[in-house]
Structure 1
Amino acid sequence: MAAAVGDWRLVGQEAALSSLTCRRLYARHGKSDDLVLVCVQGSFYAMEAWCSHMGGPLYQGDIEDFGDKLHVVCPWHGYTFDVRTGQNDLGIRQEVFQVKVEDSQVYVMYKCDLSTDPFS
């Protein structure tokens, strides 16, 4: 289940964000709070950007369908995480966050501002 912390944070236009399957969302609080935004067939999902195994960048991972569930695959060691739940078959998990689309704008429920570009 997605965490319900913070407020709805605007991250951008649906059309622009759907152009990449995985993208990094930079957090105003710093790198450790960054997220990965996943877009598959018009549906958006958000989770912690850094793999809970050894910190690999999940936003550089592939999206694969395992057993009718979408998973992001960590590019470092191949750990997979369900994009809806953050669960992994080995018992580790990623925190996931609610995403909504309203009026062609994508929002993520999160504790700080998010951006597709680094904060200065």
Structure 2
Amino acid sequence: MDKKEPTGEPQFVGTKEELITAQRSCRTIEGRDILIIYNQGVFYALDAWCHHAGAPLLTGDIEELGGKLCLICPRHKYKMALADGEGVYKATKPKEQPPIARWYSKGIKQRTHAVTETEGNIYVALSLSKSYIDSDSFQGEDGKQAREMKNAEARRDGLPV
């Protein structure tokens, strides 16, 4: 990934009215592709490319899973919480009888960003966390090359691009 550090300064991304109407919108902020989602009265901002294989998240379904509002990647169905980017999956414990499917955490996989509203305008401040998060792999020029490689694999496998 490109090594440019975010400023953390709130960046104007649109009016509240236009973003509510759009429900989902992509913006590039300081070289980072961000998906802004309005759902159930709340704005969320997260990296626009899936942490797993760089698929665009713009058309992913949103569902409540294990008590968390989650975005589901349209390519491989990876699931991430809108609020904090936590990856979640459903599984059973093999020794548990009867086996009961439960939601488990994979940890934070998708970088999220702060959203604020001032006088009807919506702003996004990029995360200042220096910790590596999987979705970082698909940002910047290096990320663009990684996405192109993953898109070629998806086309070959007959998956949505």
Looking at structure 1, the residues matched to 66 and 55 of structure 2 have their Cα atoms a distance apart, in angstroms, of: 24
Q: Deviations over 1:16-65 (max 9, x none)?
A: 10113322123352xxx201111112210101110010001011211111
- Where 1:19 maps in the other structure, the secondary structure is helix
Percent of residue pairs bearing the same amino acid type: 32
Show the 5 A alignment for 1:20-59. Answer: 20-29=22-31, 33-59=32-58
Q: CA deviation at 1:5?
A: 5.2
Which residue does the alignment assign to 1:118?
A: none
Which residue, out of 109, 113, 116, partners 2:125? 109
Name the one with the larger strand percent.
1
- Where 1:7 maps in the other structure, the secondary structure is coil
Q: TM-score, normalised by structure 1?
A: 0.78
The 8 Å contact of residues 11 and 29 in structure 2, kept in 1 or not, is answered as no
Bigger RCO (CA 8 Å, 6+ sep)? 1
Give, as a single letter, the amino acid of the residue that structure 2 aligns with 1:102. T
Name the one with the larger helix percent.
2
RMSD, aligned CA = 1.9
Q: Deviations over 1:57-96 (max 9, x none)?
A: 0112111111221111111011111000100025261010
The 8 Å contact of residues 81 and 88 in structure 2, kept in 1 or not, is answered as no
Looking at structure 2, the residues matched to 5 and 28 of structure 1 have their Cα atoms a distance apart, in angstroms, of: 8
Show the 5 A alignment for 1:1-120. Answer: 6-29=8-31, 33-89=32-88, 91=106, 93-110=109-126
Q: TM-score, normalised by structure 2?
A: 0.60
The structure 1 segments of at least 4 consecutive aligned residues displaced by more than 3 Å after TM superposition are none
- Where 1:58 maps in the other structure, the secondary structure is coil
